[in-house]
Copies of this chain bind each other. A is one copy, B any other.
Amino acid sequence: MHVLILGAAGMIGRKLTARLVADGNVGGCAVERLTLADMVPPQQPASAAGQVELVARDLAAPGEAERLVDARPDLIFHLVAVVSGEAEADFEKGYEVNLDGTRALLEAVRAAHTADGYHPRLVFTSSIAVYGAPFPNPIPEDFQATPLTSYGTQKAIGELMLGDYTRRGFVDGIGIRLPTICIRPGTPNKAASAFFSSILREPLVGQDAVLPVPETVRHWHASPRSAVEFLIRAATLDGQEVGPRRTLSMPGLSATVGEQIEALRRVAGEQAVRLIRREPDESIMRIVETWAPALEATRAMRLGFAAESSFDEIIRVHIDDELGGSL
């Protein structure tokens, strides 16, 4: 099969690429061709069995989505997004990438469908940011999208379009509403959620980290490894089992910042915890306090999606996958 990853140069995109190359198949189908696309050129994976193509393109630019769909990939992962902090800071860019880019992709697939019946599985990453406070804890599966950020608005719109294009038979879409991914490797991105990772990631390697919110903040997390697992599961699901509501809330771990820090203490000791510096930031707090503390993810769990059950486990995943297995 031919797999297209849009947003392949991002953190999740790189991990998904590595996983597909390592497995050599998705749900038992050999990956014969892998197209890695992003605004910046994605990296060539080390040892892919099949053909690998690297493409640097702006999905939202006229004609680009059509060009990517020209080769009729059997499976498309759509991971391209301007993240929450950036979509809030740059209104136009957020709508251009997160709304127009997603629509351009759906339109390109529809045009191909109309031409020759093309009907790929399209996995779209949405976000818990479609929910904005106030809401019950946990947020029920059937709760309304009440975004309080432009990013959340754009993701909710993407979910709606994905559902409609799928209902009309133009594409076989599955949306997955990702928890905040923790611990993100590398350097902080522009997401307002960046601190959830850095308060663990930096101390684990002896560096300072800044905590801009109180320890009582509760949020919904899953590791990068789980995120990749979610994507693979979404790629191989039977659409019939999902039904017309094509976006699924992913399982996660509901934890307070205090619980994150306790887990860090258990795994890496008091000297790691002492590297966390409190620097309250009102603007981050205002965004974060509107976020979901926990989601009901019973539909996804019934369909075989699973996440970590403790922050100790999330930290160990990071140590295994990013730090060579030990501190």
Residues of A within 8 A of B (CB): 91, 132, 135, 142-148, 150, 153, 156-157, 160-161, 163-164, 167-168, 244-245
Contacts and interface: CB of A to CB of B under 8 A. Distances in A.
Given A91-B168, A146-B245, A153-B161, 8 more contacts: A142-B144, A142-B146, A143-B143, A144-B144, A144-B145, A147-B160, A147-B163, A150-B164
A319 to B, nearest CB: 38
B91 A148 contact: no
Contact of A167 (B144, B148, B161, B168): B148
B145 A145 contact: yes
A153 B135 CA distance: 23
Contact of A153 (B144, B147, B164): B164
Nearest to A88: B168
B145 A142 contact: no
Contacts of A153: 160-161, 163-164
Contacts of A135: 142
B157 A160 contact: yes
Stoichiometry (number of copies): 2
Contacts of A161: 153, 157
Contacts of A145: 144-145, 160
Contacts of A143: 142-144
A143 B143 CA distance: 5
Considering residues A91, A160, A161, A167, which has the most beta carbons from chain B within 10 angstroms of its beta carbon? A160
A154 to B, nearest CB: 8
Contact of A164 (B142, B144, B147, B160): B147
9 contacts: A91-B168, A135-B142, A142-B146, A143-B144, A146-B245, A147-B164, A148-B167, A148-B244, A157-B157
Most buried by B among A132, A143, A156: A156
Contacts of A164: 147, 150, 153
B156 A160 contact: yes
A184 to B, nearest CB: 26
Contacts of A160: 145, 147, 153, 156-157, 160
Contacts of A132: 244
Nearest 4 Cβ contacts at the A-B interface: A153-B164, A144-B144, A153-B160, A157-B157
A167 B160 CA distance: 20
A153 B161 CA distance: 7
Nearest to A167: B148
A287 to B, nearest CB: 12
A147 B162 CA distance: 12
